[in-house]
Structure formats: C-alpha cells, structure tokens
C-alpha cells in the first residue's frame, strides 16, 4: 500500500508531455480518488466520464454488474479532462477510455488496456519516481480507503460494497465541495463483519 505522500509523488512525477503520460496520470488518479478496482477502471468508456450539473462525474461498472456513479475530486476532474482533450477522444463515447499505446510511438490505439498493461505501467511509473514500496493495481484502492478512514470517514452498516458505502457518505457529506467529508470517528475503527473490503 502506498502512503498518501507516495501517491502524490507518483501523480506529480508522471511526465505529461505525451498522451501516454496524460493517460497514466488519469488512470492512477481515478484509482486513488474513487477507490476503483482496476477491472472497473480499464472497462470504462469515454461516455463514463460526464458532466452532471456543473461537475464532472465518473461511472464505474464493478463486479456483479454493480454500477457506481460519483462526482470527481477536482484533481481527478482536471486530469481526466486533460487526457480526454489531449487524446481527442471526447466524441468517441463508446470507445474505451484507457487505451493501449502503439509500441513506443506514444500514440494511442482504440484497444483497451489490460490489467497486465496497467500493472506494468504502475511499476514503471513508481520506479521512475523511486518509490520503493512494492505496489500493484490494487494498492491505490487500499491507499484511498485507508486514508478516507484515517481522516474520519466511516463505513455505513449494510451489505453493500465499500464503494457503495463510501459514495453515499461522499455525496451526503459534501454536496458543495470536492472533498470527502471530515467525519469524526473514534479509534480504532472496527469494520462490521458484513462489510466487505
């Protein structure tokens, strides 16, 4: 699992002078800010990033056919917008959002990234900023959830996926901001057995 400082270092250390860099930063940010599983992230279509009201939202298609829609953190919104505009894919709503690169050309194809592609990218980007923590695709989900709980977020009771629970609190607690709500929680936090992480 990454620390918050390592996650920030990773995001800021990605060279965004190419489409591949813009894509990589957007994908890492999506996983950090939404707690998305890599499988849901790489299945996203361009139309799964959309405007509702005056905010950018993302739609994740999770395991078991679950669909999660949530507003973007302001940094995620900025990174997704830069990538979509830079790649010129805004009009390709049915196309995959996170696409493979054509060799070393730094040009993107129409094909979706695989989990193996994402894993290699994450390892390469982490090595590029000298992060020694061994990380993979699910490290960002663990980092996001842990930091959310550390900052006072709570998991509601019930049988839903952690994204269901966190999204509900995110929307209820912060309608006018892009931040997760600062809720007070006594430590140590005990997650109910019926809640799956």
pLDDT for the residue numbered 63: 83
Model confidence over 126-157: pLDDT tens digits?
999 998 888 888 888 888 888 888 888 776 55
Model confidence over 62-77: pLDDT tens digits?
888 889 999 999 999 9
Domains of the chain and CATH, by start: 4-141 (1.10.443.10)
Q: How confident is the model at residue 165 (pLDDT cuts 50, 70, 90)?
A: very low
Contact 56, 50 (CB under 8 A): yes
Evaluate if residue 1 carries a pLDDT over 50. Answer: yes
What average pLDDT does range 97-112 have in this prediction?
A: 91
Integer Cα distance of 176 and 48 in angstroms: 22
Q: Which residues contact 45 (CB under 8 A, 6 or more apart)?
A: 93, 94, 95, 96, 97
Q: Is 62 helix (H, G, I), strand (E, B) or coil?
A: coil
């Amino acid at each position: 699992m990454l620390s918050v400082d390592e996650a920030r270092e990773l995001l800021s250390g990605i060279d965004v002078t190419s489409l591949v860099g813009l894509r990589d930063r957007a994908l890492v940010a999506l996983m950090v800010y939404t707690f998305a599983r890599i499988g849901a992230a790489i299945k996203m279509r361009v139309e799964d990033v959309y405007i509702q009201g005056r905010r950018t939202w993302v739609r994740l298609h999770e395991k078991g056919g679950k669909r999660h829609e949530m507003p973007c953190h302001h940094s995620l919104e900025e990174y997704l917008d830069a990538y979509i505009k830079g790649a010129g894919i805004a009009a390709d709503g049915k196309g995959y959002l996170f696409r493979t690169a054509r060799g070393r050309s730094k040009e993107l194809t129409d094909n979706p990234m695989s989990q193996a592609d994402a894993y290699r990218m994450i390892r390469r980007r982490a090595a590029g900023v000298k992060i020694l923590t061994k990380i993979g695709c699910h490290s960002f989900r663990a980092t996001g959830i842990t930091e959310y709980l550390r900052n006072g977020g709570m998991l509601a009771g019930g049988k839903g996926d952690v994204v269901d629970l966190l999204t509900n609190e995110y929307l209820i607690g912060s309608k006018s901001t892009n931040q997760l709500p600062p809720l007070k929680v006594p430590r140590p936090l005990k997650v109910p057995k019926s809640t799956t992480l």
